Amino acid sequence: MIGVSYIIIRKLVSAVMACLLVMFIYFLVEQSGFVILIGVYLLPILLIYGVPSSILSDFVTKKISGLLRGSLALFIHLFLAALFVLIPFLETERSLNSFFFIAALLSSSLFWCIDEFLRSKRAKDICQKIDDMKIY
């Protein structure tokens, strides 16, 4: 059984890495200080909303394995990200800004990709090799 602290650390690392990757992608599109503003708003959202959403996804898919588990987890990540953007726009008379929707879907899919990689045996092997290189 994997410890709760390992899961939380994995989710926090996934959130920070997803935020950095989204910032990098937007920096490739437009090299401006706007990218820092994206990161300032995105990181707390990923930490406060994304991490619990991802833990919920793990809880829902824990009895499923293989491609079906990964696909369902991706769907849950994308669905909850879309809800995060769509609900405030549905409650007001404003039209949906596609920038926020695309940013939410991009960040949630990157969060899922990083988290799935960190769950994999390959990532555990890499961490073990890094641990073996310690100087005692």
pLDDT digits (tens, 9 = 90+) for 98-130: 788 888 999 999 999 999 998 888 877 887 777
d(Cα 118, Cα 131) in Å, to the nearest integer? 15
What is the value of pTM for the model shown?
0.84
How many CB atoms lie under 10 A from the CB of residue 116?
16
| Confidence grade of residue 33 (pLDDT, cut at 50, 70, 90) | confident
Residue 133 has pLDDT above 80, yes or no: no
Percent of the chain with pLDDT over 70: 93
Read off the pLDDT of each residue in 72-97 and give the average, rounded to a whole number. 83
| Confidence grade of residue 35 (pLDDT, cut at 50, 70, 90) | confident
How many CB atoms lie under 10 A from the CB of residue 22?
24
CB 42 within 8 A of CB 27: no
Choose among 38, 37, 43: nearest CA to 14. Answer: 43
Residue 95 has pLDDT above 70, yes or no: no
CB 68 within 8 A of CB 88: no
Residue pLDDT, tens place only, 59-80: 999 888 888 998 999 999 999 9
